[in-house]
Structure 1
Amino acid sequence: MELVAVTSAPLPAPHLSLMTSGAIYMGQEIQLQCTAPENYPEGTFHLYSHSTGEQLQTAQAPETKNSVMFTIQSSYAMKSIECFCKYQCYVGNEIQVSEVSNVLSVTINVPVWVFVVVGLVGLLILVASVLVTVYLLRRNKKKKQEERDKDSIWIDQQMTPDWSDGNHNMVYDANSVSKTDISNTYLSNVDSQMESRSPVPFSSFRT
């Protein structure tokens, strides 16, 4: 719980510093130290967001100590953070509040593995798109070929395997059979049909 000061005279401002060394990446813990002047130990320290003014954390300094450590867990949505701190402590019998510290700005970098994952996901999406496109093209080509095959069929389903229609009417390929062969076959069929007919009796006498 934040204490309320009863005096109008602010205490000297603390100093806020970054304790995490090196580059800071998304998802990494960030350590900040808020330090009051040495003659103001055992204070209660508050960390605030500079953009919203929201109080983020509160920490009590140990006995005889004039600084505290704040730990912030950065999220993957953060690009940077800006914070400041202040403290309050007893001066005599009264609680006094300090002025605000310097604003500390921390840049949060994107890890290399994020770029790798994004690249792999993009590559997988590209490969999947190509495979789907190839599949659709092949299926469309196969469908068109089947339609062309259906349109090219001209033989009646009732035709026998010897390429006749069962009524002594032969079907020929105009490119493979000559006209003479067709004529001879036709005459043979006519002779065969005439021989199979019964002769009609003829009489010269009138009844």
Structure 2
Amino acid sequence: MELLISLGLIVMELLVVTSGNLPPPQLSLMTSGTIYMGDKLELQCTAPTNYPEGTFYLFLNNTGQCLEKKEAPETKNAVKFTITSSYTMKTMQYVCNYKSYVGNELQLSEASNILYVTFKVPVWVFILVGLVGLLILVAAVLVTLCLVRRNKKKKREQRDKESIWIAQDMTKDWPDGSHNMVYDSNSHSRTEISNTYPSNMDPPTDDRSVSPFSTFRAP
């Protein structure tokens, strides 16, 4: 009877070896509660009990990237992986498998179930994004005000320059006051006014003579 049991076990092992794949493990999430971006994440990969002391691997299912490799303790058929959760706002997919000796040959198992983990955004991220947005808004307002003030200053300087040019032109066109003479009403003599008579003409003369005044009467 014992011989038959031994033969049966040998046949089973031969079938496993020829198949080339060991039974798949079970992947489970050990971290409880809400998982935020950047938190530590603990996963457990468990092989069937008759495949202890295996070498376990944790993968990202969508990329095939191996995140961690771990040896199972003596007589144990499970390991725990501790990783840092993703900083992306999406659901990650994890799988694991293991290698174990069947007789003298090392065999690879099939992939485990796909474990979906969704990461939440922590509150401080929203606060940080809000502060950054506020700072950008304040900076934009300050820059706008500076540009407006600079534009106004340039326009004011331009108007001042134009005013100076107009004043200079008016001064050039204004008649020279040195050609005019002023008559003083309080003085006993008249002041000649230039340009009153043409330069090629003599001023008019009074030919009338004044008779001498006398108090004596003629006979």
Same fold (TM over 0.5): yes
Letter in 2 for 1:65: K
Tell me, in whole angstroms, the C-alpha distance in 1 between the residues paired with 2:72 and 2:123. 37
Tell me, in whole angstroms, the C-alpha distance in 2 between the residues paired with 1:123 and 1:76. 23
User: Deviation string for 1:99-149 (max 9, x for gaps)?
Assistant: 221000111222221121111111111111111111111121122122222
Which of 58, 69, 73 does residue 62 from structure 1 map onto? 73
Q: Percentage identity across aligned positions? A: 59
Counterpart residue number, 2:160: 149
**What SS does the corresponding residue of 1:129 show, helix, strand or coil?**
helix
**What SS does the corresponding residue of 1:127 show, helix, strand or coil?**
helix
Tell me, in whole angstroms, the C-alpha distance in 2 between the residues paired with 1:117 and 1:169. 81
Map 1:91-170; keep pairs closer than 5 Å. Answer: 91-153=102-164, 155-156=167-168
Letter in 2 for 1:98: S
Tell me, in whole angstroms, the C-alpha distance in 2 between the residues paired with 1:38 and 1:192. 140
Tell me, in whole angstroms, the C-alpha distance in 1 between the residues paired with 2:156 and 2:41. 65
Map 1:1-207; keep pairs closer than 5 Å. Answer: 7-8=18-19, 10-77=21-88, 79-153=90-164, 155-156=167-168, 186-188=182-184, 194=192
**What SS does the corresponding residue of 2:158 show, helix, strand or coil?**
helix
Structure 1, unmatched stretches of 5+, are 160-164, 171-184, 196-207
Structure 2, unmatched stretches of 5+, are 1-15, 194-219
Tell me which of the two structures has the higher relative contact order, counting C-alpha pairs closer than 8 angstroms and 6 or more residues apart: 1
TM-score w.r.t. structure 1 length? 0.68
Letter in 2 for 1:133: T
Does the 8 Å contact 2:37/2:87 carry over to 1?
A: yes
Does the 8 Å contact 1:7/1:95 carry over to 2?
A: no
TM-score w.r.t. structure 2 length? 0.65
Q: Displacement, 1:33?
A: 0.6
The higher radius of gyration belongs to: 2
**What SS does the corresponding residue of 2:23 show, helix, strand or coil?**
coil
Tell me, in whole angstroms, the C-alpha distance in 1 between the residues paired with 2:157 and 2:136. 32
Tell me, in whole angstroms, the C-alpha distance in 1 between the residues paired with 2:108 and 2:77. 14
Answer 1 or 2: which has greater helix percent: 2
Tell me, in whole angstroms, the C-alpha distance in 2 between the residues paired with 1:19 and 1:192. 122
Q: CA RMSD in A?
A: 3.4
**What SS does the corresponding residue of 2:69 show, helix, strand or coil?**
strand
